[in-house]
Amino acid sequence: MTIASTSSPGSAAPVGHTHVADLGACLDLINSVEYTDGVPEDHLATIDALVAWLADHSVGHRDALDAQASSDPEAWLDHVRTCRLALRDVWDAAVEGRAVGQASVDTLNRVLAHAPHVELRRTLAGVAVGHEHDRRDPTSEALARLAEPLVAALAAGDVERWRICANDDCRWVFEDTSRGGRRRWCDMSSCGNRAKVRRFRSRRRTPPVAESPAHVDRAPADRTSADAPETEEASPVEDRTRTNSR
């Protein structure tokens, strides 16, 4: 018996195509709003940029997304941006151990309702596994595909490695793949180093505490780890490339 993958006869998708997003793609969408010194910059600020991004990540067909976006550009942009913000809120809430906003939950539940359903189809050679696209709302279908891996991780309780960059002026979201799970910065060479420089300058500005007479003859204290240069355990794999950044 032959098992094949196919699309719905009613859709314009080619036979054998798939639309699968991983958690990294979801994070790329969230991080498309990047903070530099606390100032947000949207790297997907236009319809053309968003349509191209969704199509390039294989979660939707460019022609269908273009057609829907052109019918009501402002509403389309608002829909995608609202979903992106809701994904961010869910991630932040999981990391920070707080309740997620109800509006974010409602937004993502509406999007997830457009996720395609897998179905079996009889063929002359055996059976095919396919899906049918949401021709009325291809954008919500694409966003549902991006939200699904995040929802799957939540359902599995697999959030202990979710992180937000410790630099409050950055707030990049990422999954910590380091061996010890102690990574705090999106990039040690940028945000990590800037934080170390700030702490170093702060210590230099702090006046030394006068030594009391009772301690004059005391032997010098051993050097502590606080005086040593800070290091952060490197991830065994390279950091995910910031494809959305400058």
- Over the chain, what is the mean pLDDT? 80
For residue 49, the model assigns a pLDDT of 98
pLDDT tens digits along 107-166: 999 999 999 878 888 889 899 888 777 889 999 999 999 999 999 999 999 999 999 999
pLDDT tens digits along 186-223: 887 668 555 444 554 555 555 555 555 554 444 444 44
pLDDT tens digits along 11-64: 434 344 567 799 999 999 999 999 888 899 999 999 999 999 999 999 999 999
Is 9 exposed, middle or buried, given 0-12, 13-18 or 19+ CB atoms closer than 10 A?
A: exposed
Rounded CA-CA distance 79/88 in Å is 14
Spell out the domains of the chain, with CATH numbers in brackets. 2-159 (1.10.3300), 161-206+226-246 (no CATH)
Rounded CA-CA distance 122/120 in Å is 7
74, pLDDT greater than 80:
yes
Q: Tokens in use for 82?
A: 């609202």
Q: Tokens in use for 182?
A: 């102690």
Packed helices 23-30 and 73-96: angle between N→C axes, nearest 10 degrees: 110
Residue found by looking up tokens 């400058």 in the block: 246
For residue 133, the model assigns a pLDDT of 79
Conformation bin of residue 70: beta by default, left when phi > 0, alpha when psi is -120 to 50: alpha
pTM flag (> 0.75):
no
Percent share of the chain, pLDDT over 90: 54
Amino acid at position 114, single letter: H
Question: Could you say which DSSP state residue 190 is in?
Answer: I
Residue found by looking up tokens 């697999």 in the block: 158
